[in-house]
Amino acid sequence: MTHSFILVAAIILNFAAFGQKKADNKVLMQIGNEKVMVKEFMDVFTKNNVQNEVIDKKSLDEYLDLYINFRLKVMEAMTLKLDTNQAFIRELDGYRKQLAKPYFTDSKVSDALLQEAYDRKLQDIRASHILLMLDKNAPPQDTLEVWNRIMKIRDRIMNGEDFAQVAIEASEDPSASDKEAIPNQRSFRAGNKGDLGYFSVFDMVYPFETGAYETEIGQVSMPLRSEFGYHLIKVTEKTPASGLIEAAHIYVSVNPESSKEEIAEKEEKIQFIYGKINEGMSFEDAVREYSEDRGSAARDGLLSKFAVNRIVPEFVSVVKKLQPGEISAPVQTVYGFHIIKLIGFDKPGSFEDEAPKLKERISKDVRSQKSEDAVIKQIKAENKFKTVDKNLKAFLSKLDSSLIKGNFNAEAFEMSKTELFRLGKKQYTEADFAKYLSLKQTPQENINPDVYAYKLYNDFVRESCLAYEDSRLEIKYPEFASLMREYRDGILLFDLMDQRVWSKAVKDTTGLKNFHEANKDNYIWKERADATVYTITSKDELSRVKNIIESLSDDKEIREALEKDSLRAVRIQPGKFELGDNKFVDATKWTLGLSDVMYAEADKFDVIVRIREILPAQTKALDESRGIITSDYQNYLEKEWINILRAKYPVNVDQKVYEQLKASY
């Protein structure tokens, strides 16, 4: 019996769903030659009028008229071809690009990238590397040659050779080895032996960053490729992130070309300063007395806040071991000797706090391409992407050095229909790719034409996939199509309303005057008091102010007398007041002359009102109420325009369908 009940219920639900779908597809009305279905009307009504509210018949009736007027205006805009206006096209295209963005990111990949970035932000890494340079567009044979060379270097290290020494000998990173002094050009610079110091997320190119975070402390990575070439990475330290560091130092400089004796003298000086501090001299006094960094000495040795990648690693290594307020023993860097005082760390916040900034960084970083890669992979799978390899190979063989010189001409291929790849039902031909090459080519060095062309081919495929998907968004996603219609109609409606109603009412001064004259009985002043309200905010000045107000009647003379006597705690507010405009004017008897002093307890000030004249009810002049009259004139223009549109585009509502629609709610 229970099973029978469930079956009957399921059948009823299916019939109900079928019935609703059938009702949605009925024509509710026809405006001009355009038919409007029940679903289209109800989608707009539900979204704009009653979200999460009970739909009642009255609100449907009210909205029906508003909707018809809206559709009439949009129809007129289309008839006038406002949708072909270049300004309109640019504006709508700008909105479309923004609305389409979510469809070209893989949310799972994006979420994973965000979490990965946050996890890495919580950790600082110190690492060294050996680099063999390789152009990012290098042909396969060159890539293989560099790979073999760096693997031999790795074998040396794995067999026991010192990483730093090998970096000096083999790395093509210029900072690895010493740079000898050149008279009158540069001083001696010690090499870093491959040591890159400390860094965190976004400080290095993404492939290198990933390689470093995925390599264990003390281990040497397999070769990894970045835009610069192949790297070997040795991770020497991983520590909790310091974030932004605030520290002060006492500095004794050492020239890079100093002799051992000179260095020893400098070391003796820093040890002497450190001894003074241990004997009780304050750090700040020692800074002012001894520090050779005169810029920071004026600030008690305080340095600008810095991240770990912005200062030499020897300095950072010491800072990481200090507690706020603690002072280090002397430490030597390539610049000289330092005594460091840690002020504090501004460490990364919670995931929720950091996420917005990380999202922005990711969007501008090469790693964001991973999300797009996932989307393109999905586009290819959905649309059965297929490259015709033999045709592509034949096309590439026809290219010459003109491409890498930047003067490739596509004319020879413009009639070719030879297919290079297919996406869905669309073919992409030699002519399409040749045109792309002619637009994208730039002069290149140290690269073969076919290698450069193959790179551009991959770019062409990528852009074609995105463009193909973009062209089908309205078909695949009804909610996107609906949103685009809303934006299109909204822009068209705004432009046309501005032309026919809003700006017209402001510019049409003759029409506005005539409208005011024809409807002046709607703009009437009630009885008013021509009065001045004097507000005195100082009890000490009340008596003197009252004497001046009583002795003079003209507000200008009163103001001058107050200024002469340096009485500044007075506000003078003249005007014509109806009942309800001002509570103090309302409180007087509306007889000519000065009121008694009124004290506003809540506001703690005194008020005196002078009534000069009682004005009888009268018609408002246009300038006295231009804002509300202009608004009423706009409403009048809109109603007249709607009447014209209803005559131009007849409206026919199917009352039977509409009554059924109301009954269903």
596-636 pLDDT, tens digit per residue, is 999 887 778 999 999 999 999 999 999 999 999 999 999 99
Same domain for 253 and 232: no
Q: Which of 341, 321, 165, 333 shows the shortest CA–CA distance to 237? A: 321
On whether the CB atoms of residues 226 and 208 are closer than 8 A, the answer is yes
Same domain for 296 and 200: no
Task: Provide the mean pLDDT of the chain.
Answer: 91
Same domain for 235 and 128: yes
In a domain, 601, yes or no: yes
Instruction: Give me the pLDDT at residue 1, please.
Output: 44
What's 219's domain CATH number? 3.10.50.40
What's 582's domain CATH number? 3.10.50
In a domain, 657, yes or no: no
366: amino acid identity, one letter: V
Same domain for 321 and 233: no
Minimum mean pLDDT among 45-54, 300-309, 493-502, 593-602: which range? 45-54
Same domain for 285 and 229: no
Please state, for a pLDDT cut of 70, what percent of the chain lies above it. Answer: 95
Same domain for 591 and 533: yes
**Which residues sit opposite 246 in a β-bridge?**
344
266-315 pLDDT, tens digit per residue, is 999 999 999 999 999 999 999 999 999 999 999 999 999 999 999 999 99
Give the integer Cα–Cα distance in Å for 159 and 551.
Answer: 107
Tokens of 261: 């004796």
Give the integer Cα–Cα distance in Å for 229 and 131.
Answer: 7
Give the integer Cα–Cα distance in Å for 65 and 500.
Answer: 20
What's the count of helices (H) and strands (E) in the chain, helices before strands?
A: 27, 20
In a domain, 375, yes or no: no
**How many structural domains compose the chain?**
4
Q: Which of 376, 377, 355, 365 shows the shortest CA–CA distance to 207? A: 365
In a domain, 132, yes or no: yes
Give the integer Cα–Cα distance in Å for 617 and 636.
Answer: 26
In a domain, 87, yes or no: no
Same domain for 127 and 235: yes
Same domain for 304 and 236: no
Give the integer Cα–Cα distance in Å for 426 and 495.
Answer: 37
In a domain, 164, yes or no: yes
In a domain, 449, yes or no: yes
Look at residues 194, 209, 240 and tell me which one is the last residue of a structural domain.
240
> Considering the entire predicted model, what is its pTM?
0.67
Q: Is the pLDDT of residue 7 over 80?
A: no
Beta carbons within 8 Å of 464's beta carbon, 6+ residues apart:
421, 423, 428
Same domain for 287 and 315: yes
| Residue 517 confidence class, pLDDT cut points 50, 70, 90 | very high
Instruction: Give me the pLDDT at residue 8, please.
Output: 42
Look at residues 347, 375, 407 and tell me which one is the last residue of a structural domain.
347
Same domain for 252 and 214: no
Q: Is the pLDDT of residue 172 over 80?
A: yes
367-393 pLDDT, tens digit per residue, is 989 999 999 999 999 999 999 999 999
Look at residues 595, 619, 643 and tell me which one is the last residue of a structural domain.
619
| Residue 62 confidence class, pLDDT cut points 50, 70, 90 | confident
In a domain, 400, yes or no: yes
Same domain for 191 and 174: yes
Q: Which domain holds residue 169?
A: 123-240
Same domain for 301 and 265: yes
Q: Is the pLDDT of residue 416 over 90?
A: yes
Please give the residue that has the higher pLDDT: either 156 or 482. Answer: 156
Maximal C-alpha separation, the chain = 109
On whether the CB atoms of residues 419 and 385 are closer than 8 A, the answer is no
